[in-house]
């Protein structure tokens, strides 16, 4: 059972890399690309909807949402693009061990989170201060 779980996790990592190559492919439709960027941004972000320090529930998003989202996005990718990107990912894995990084993506993710918190503060800042003061 442990080997099966490790194999599944390895396949998930391979699918994640395939998804990364799909997002860079010119034949990838816009909707799956946007969905993929949103999902990748969420999972690379240090901020979770359910914080990891909450026992059991904290890892639900990583254990359930990530595989489901990757599966759904890959189902939206056209077959020729998927085949080409799987081959590209396999070749990349054979050549490298670490995963690809993108400084630009990290900057975009941070800017999105900053914009998100700015909107929260702008519209609900006073209410949040009162709520925390009352506690």
Query: pLDDT tens, 61-83?
Result: 777 888 888 889 999 999 999 99
CB atoms within 10 A of CB 77: 23
Q: What is the pTM of this model?
A: 0.60
User: Is 5 a residue whose pLDDT tops 70?
Assistant: no
Condensed to tens digits (0 to 9), the pLDDT of residues 29-45 reads 999 999 988 887 777 77
Sequence-distant (≥ 6) Cβ neighbours of residue 57 within 8 angstroms = 50
CA separation for the pair 102, 106 (Å, rounded): 6
Domain boundaries, the chain: 2-100, 102-135
């Amino acid at each position: 059972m442990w080997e099966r779980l490790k194999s599944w996790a390895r396949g998930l990592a391979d699918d994640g890399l395939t998804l990364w190559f799909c997002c860079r492919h010119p034949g990838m439709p816009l909707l799956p690309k946007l969905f993929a960027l949103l999902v990748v941004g969420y999972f690379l972000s240090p901020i979770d909807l359910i914080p990891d320090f909450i026992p059991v529930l904290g890892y639900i998003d990583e254990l359930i949402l990530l595989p489901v989202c990757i599966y759904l996005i890959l189902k939206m990718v056209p077959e020729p693009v998927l085949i080409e990107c799987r081959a590209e990912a396999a070749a990349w894995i054979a050549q490298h061990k670490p995963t690809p990084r993108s400084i630009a993506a990290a900057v975009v993710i941070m800017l999105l989170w900053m914009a998100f918190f700015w909107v929260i503060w702008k519209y609900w800042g006073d209410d949040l201060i009162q709520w925390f003061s009352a506690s």
